[in-house]
A and B are shown apart, each in its own frame.
Chain A
Amino acid sequence: MLKIWSMKQKQQQDEAASAGTKKKKVTAAQLRVQKDLSELSLGSTMKTNFPNPDDILNFELTIEPDEGMYRGGSFVFTFKINQNFPHDPPKVKCTQKIYHPNIDLEGNVCLNILREDWKPVLNLNAVIVGLQFLFLEPNASDPLNKEAAEDLKVNREGFKRNVRTALGGGSVKGESYERVLKK
């Protein structure tokens, strides 16, 4: 420990002395989320909702696509971010039961950057762009809902009709879906 403290003192020559301690410090996860939120570009098709505005680690994102097969729908996702963010990815789930090849009936989302391709350098905007893309380009080769993926692969027009039925709260192949059309 020889000299460490004198090195420290040299390092901080022009830093002011610190005031009172013992107060809670803003956590690394909060700092990062705060930064990510300030860089969010939501456009006109997305909005956020914070059930508790003091808790920025838990919020909802509503996506209302204005083009593509899911146009007119209003999809609500929950974001749960833990204190280990950005080492851990955010946990994202769709709160409604929807007909989509990459989202299962429980709301799990198959998006690579939410699991295998997550890196701490990615931000919330990347996740939001990814989710938005799922509604523009549902992907049949990466299915989470196998029936929907088969449907999309085999008969694109039929799939489109089934999506419209599901969005309106109808049933598709014996499974009934939630009405998620924008009010």
Chain B
Amino acid sequence: MTLAMTGTVELEPSQPSNARAKWKHMDTVLDRSGPFTDPDFRPGETPKESLARAKVLVIGAGGLGCEMLKDLASSGFRDIHVIDMDTIDVSNLNRQFLFRQEDVGKFKAEVAAQRVEKRSGSGVKITPYCGKIQDKDEDYYKQFAMIICGLDSIEARRWINATLVGMVDEEDPDSLKPLIDGGTEGFKGQARVIFPTMTSCIECQLDMHAPRAAVPLCTLATIPRQPQHCIEWAHIIAWEEERKGDILDTDDPEHITWLYQKALKRAEQFNISGVTYSMTQGVVKNIIPAIASTNAIVAAACCNEAFKIITSCNPCLGLPGTDNYMMYTGDESVYTYTFEHQKKPDCPVCGNLSRPLQVNQDSTLGEFLDSLTERPEAQLKKPTIRTEAKSLYYQSPPSLEEQTRHNLSKKLSELVENGEEVAIQDPAFPTTFKYKLVFQK
């Protein structure tokens, strides 16, 4: 049994019994095995220590994040980190219950950490980071036992997912970080658990997120029917016509006011009522309706899975070959459904991970591509190849072929770094081949 955890908090696992009393209920599931417990589970001190020592990261300190911090702290997690780049807006106060009027303008992560830490009493440490998840590198993410996401952006989810998949080092059990992801939209939500590289990842599951419902551009331009259409018109068409060159900043009140007034005028022309400043803000910032109770349900589901993963007291969601996705639908009565979302073999993130490939750095790109066409497992016919930074050679379209052709006669060492990843595509194959080119000398 290996618990992938690093970093510890200053704490004493064996505390006086009265301090332990507050965990009485949690302890009942840790002090004995249940009917579903894995036969290797050893009740008692082991799971309690795992829980006390686990360093976990919550991404997002908004509606879901606030709930998650509270739930984790009250289930016995004691070393919690939280990351969020946003500051508190007055419109958050209804559901992000950790925040007060006087906190408006302060960083969410900081205030949320302070409040939960204070309320939880001694023994719980919450460390905030106010910034972007992209500011941090693999070393930062590596210190955690698991990552729990309460995000409203698909982009951020895709980023952390790709990072965690890329971190998995087959020699190092400690590099595999379970990812628990919660999401809500109105009365609907989902909780899912991902074991990077082992089970279906966020990128595999991209089809579970419907792209944002957009209104046809022509409706906006000609016959708006709803106040939102007038706002979108101001946002997409009027701004560009009248303020070309100005980059729209959705956090700049002057910009929002301008859009609001444009939208209002247009709404009057078409006899549409209901355009307001806050609706303008909502539409242009693409704020999805957030309901406190849905956040509570989804956050709670995520945190129970976190608890089970760390302590192994009961089977968790997401083990390979089992259900990994729980959806909650509350917009027509209540319906929940848990299923196994299958890993996609051609997933650009977790499908065919890059393999090391020994190359002679003095051979040319052309020679290298020729050698690939002879490799039995590849047998490529017209390979196209790039690194993250460079287009090395493209077979099509013709203009790109022409622009990259000169690379064929260059040495590999001039084009790629030792160990750099290349992605190779061939029209004969649906998948992309990824290799890390390792120089022979």
Contacts and interface: CB of A to CB of B under 8 A. Distances in A.
Interface of A: 1-8, 11-12, 15-28, 30-32, 34-35, 37-40, 42, 47-50, 53-56, 83-84, 86-89, 102, 104, 106, 108-110, 112, 114-116, 118-121, 142-144, 146
The 8 closest A-B pairs by CB, nearest first: A20-B419, A19-B356, A24-B388, A2-B312, A53-B403, A5-B173, A26-B423, A31-B348
B170 to A, nearest CB: 6
A106 B241 contact: yes
Given A87-B211, A109-B217, A22 B403 contact: no
Interface in B403-424: 403-404, 417-423
B310 interface: yes
Interface string B181-194: 00000000000000
Contact of B240 (A19, A34, A106, A142): A106
Interface stretch (B111-119, B361-369, B390-398): B390-398
Interface string B296-325: 000000000000011010000001100000
Q: Taking chain A's interface residues, is the majority helix, strand, or loop, or is none over half, making it mixed?
A: loop
Interface string B379-395: 00000101111110011
Contacts of B333: none
The B interface, classified by DSSP as helix, strand, loop or mixed, is loop
B273 interface: no
B216 A115 contact: yes
B41 interface: yes
Contacts of B155: 83-84, 87
Contacts of B3: 1
25 contacts: A4-B195, A5-B173, A12-B170, A17-B171, A21-B167, A23-B417, A24-B388, A25-B162, A25-B166, A37-B400, A38-B395, A40-B397, A42-B398, A53-B403, A53-B404, A56-B394, A87-B206, A88-B211, A115-B214, A116-B216, A118-B211, A120-B211, A143-B221, A144-B221, A146-B222
A84 B310 contact: no
Contact of B400 (A1, A5, A16, A53): A53
Interface in B62-81: none
Contact of A40 (B5, B222, B241, B396): B396
B4 A20 contact: no
A38 B428 CA distance: 10
B387 A24 contact: yes
B138 to A, nearest CB: 7
Contacts, number: 215
A102 B213 CA distance: 20
A73 to B, nearest CB: 20
A50 B388 CA distance: 16
A88 to B, nearest CB: 7
B320 A11 contact: yes
B384 A34 contact: yes
Contacts of A84: 154-155, 158
Contact of A22 (B138, B206, B215, B349): B138
Most A Cβ at <10 Å: residue of B3, B211, B236: B211
B441 interface: no
A112 B220 CA distance: 13
Given A27-B388, A110-B218, A116-B216, 4 more contacts: A18-B354, A21-B167, A87-B211, A104-B221
Nearest to B162: A28
